[in-house]
Structure 1
Amino acid sequence: MTWTDPATWYANLPAFHAAAGALITDPAGRLLLVKPTYRDHWAFPGGYVEEDEYPHHACAREVHEELGLTVAVGDLLVVDWAPPAGQRPRALIHFTFDCGTLASLADIDLPGQELEDVAFFSPEEVERRLPANVAPRADAAARARVRQIPVYLAGGAATSP
């Protein structure tokens, strides 16, 4: 067996991106989505994890930046491993956290350059508004919240590791 220098070994490992999103619902159970100005589709509030940042901190930071809200980031609900796609040359690991219930949209302050709209949607509407590879996260997150058991997805598909 040949010993590999740790610096070389680590440099040759595959790299991936990480992102974190927030599951926020209203009292009726509808899910909060945001409409970015730079995409054709809606999304969970959230975004990419920065260097040296924990995913749950990224979730709180992104919700604050996008909506002007300070949320308590709760349980991890979904981990979704997404292969490279489109212009994203690396795999993405997406963490969805439970960020509670919001009674109304009154306290939301949208940054005009980044988001053009925010709304609550029924599960059926969420599935139509999210990209096909992201939509399964919504149902998985809702189920995980009720069951209090995180769900692992591989490319948006439920799997048993």
Structure 2
Amino acid sequence: MTTVRVVRVVAALITDPQGRLLLVRKRGTRRFMQAGGKPEADETARGALVRELSEELGLTVAESSLALLGPYVTDAANEPGHRLEAEVFRLQLSAGVAAALEPHAEIEELRWATPAQAAELGDRLAPLARLLL
């Protein structure tokens, strides 16, 4: 019997006024995904996501602006053989805030994509991102 390793994260489905999705790619990887990351032991899911968005994108948001979409389970994008358990929140940004985002920390690239453009990434789109489309 094999033990399934689980990666627990919080993630943000971020959109702009045109309905485009924000996708990020971490340094040293090839897959695009939602911004977010692993909560620390003492953090709530919302608190962890607020911290991750600040670290990864320089984005300051209030916990109250994060609307819970729910829990999602998929294969992990960058950890072969691992299952991803994600608590996903929706966040809509104004045009000005969206345009000012820049990659920070381990984020190497960010891009705004329509759902069709995201789907065109094929296997470069992380399983969770594909599920959220």
Task: Name whichever of 79-88 and 20-29 sits farther off.
Answer: 79-88
Aligned residues of 2:7 and 2:76 also touching (Cα < 8 A): no
Confirm or deny that 1:80 pairs with 2:63: no
Q: Which residue of 1 aligns with 2:101?
A: 108
2:112 counterpart SS class: strand
Unpaired segments ≥5 residues, structure 1: 1-13, 140-161
Q: Deviations over 1:3-30 (max 9, x none)?
A: xxxxxxxxxxx98431011111111100
Q: Which residue of 1 aligns with 2:32?
A: 42
Deviation at 1:108, TM superposition (A): 2.1
Unpaired segments ≥5 residues, structure 2: none
Q: How many residues align?
A: 124
Distance 1:58 1:24, change over 3 A: same
Aligned residues of 2:102 and 2:110 also touching (Cα < 8 A): no
Task: Name whichever of 70-79 and 25-34 sits farther off.
Answer: 70-79
Aligned CA-pair RMSD: 2.5
Fraction of identical pairs, as percent: 32
Deviation at 1:88, TM superposition (A): 5.5
Of the three residues 15, 20, 26, the one matched with 2:10 is 20
Q: Deviations over 1:37-57 (max 9, x none)?
A: 121111111111121221111
In the alignment, the residues of structure 1 paired with residue 76 and residue 25 of structure 2 have an alpha-carbon distance, to the nearest angstrom, of 23
Q: Which residue of 2 aligns with 1:154?
A: none
After superposition, residues 137-156 of structure 1 pair within 5 angstroms as 137-139=131-133
In the alignment, the residues of structure 2 paired with residue 108 and residue 39 of structure 1 have an alpha-carbon distance, to the nearest angstrom, of 20
Aligned residues of 1:126 and 1:138 also touching (Cα < 8 A): no
Deviation at 1:78, TM superposition (A): 3.3
In the alignment, the residues of structure 1 paired with residue 117 and residue 49 of structure 2 have an alpha-carbon distance, to the nearest angstrom, of 23
Aligned residues of 2:17 and 2:92 also touching (Cα < 8 A): no
Distance 1:86 1:127, change over 3 A: same
TM-score after normalising by structure 1: 0.65
Q: Which residue of 2 aligns with 1:136?
A: 130
Amino acid at match of 2:68: L
Amino acid at match of 1:37: R
* Larger fraction in strand: 2
Distance 1:83 1:57, change over 3 A: same
Higher relative contact order (CA 8 A, sep 6+): 2
In the alignment, the residues of structure 1 paired with residue 76 and residue 31 of structure 2 have an alpha-carbon distance, to the nearest angstrom, of 19
